[in-house]
Amino acid sequence: MASNANPYVDFLGGKGDWGGLLLEQMPEATYRSSPTGTAFGQRSPAQQRFFQNAYQNVYSDYVGELGRSLRAGKTPTSFNQYLETNPWTKRYSALPQAARGRTGGYSNPRTRFLYNF
């Protein structure tokens, strides 16, 4: 009978925290597996596309944030901690309506037939 136990649990989540070390070395894996980002991407298809395509922009923002903290003499945050601040919502809300998958019809309804005299 086959066991359903994960054979890598001790290796990845054990005393050495190999999983955390691997995620530190692979920022794109950290980005794609971020619980905050995954929750953001599940709200709508447009947000899911935005999440999938925004890795380079979010990582560039993180590198800028890292540089600012180093220049200020502060302890820099890890990429995982930066992703917990939810950088997607601010970027997504700054997009124009057309880029978010919305048209002007939602906010500007047509007034084709006002009155028939």
Record the pTM: 0.66
**Range 108-116 average pLDDT:** 61
- Our measurement of the distance from residue 60's CA atom to the centroid of its chain's CA atoms, rounded to an integer in Å, reads 13
Give ∠ CA 68-71-72 in degrees, rounded to 5. 85
State the average pLDDT over residues 38-66. Answer: 87
Q: Are 98 and 46 in contact (CB under 8 A)?
A: no
Question: Sign of dihedral through CA atoms 80, 82, 85, 87?
Answer: negative
Give the residue, 99 or 112, on which the prediction is more confident.
99
pLDDT for 54-84, tens place per residue? Answer: 888 899 999 999 999 999 998 888 888 888 8
Name the CA dihedral angle for 60, 39, 91, 96, rounded to a multiple of 10 degrees. 140
| Mean pLDDT of the region 21-45 | 83
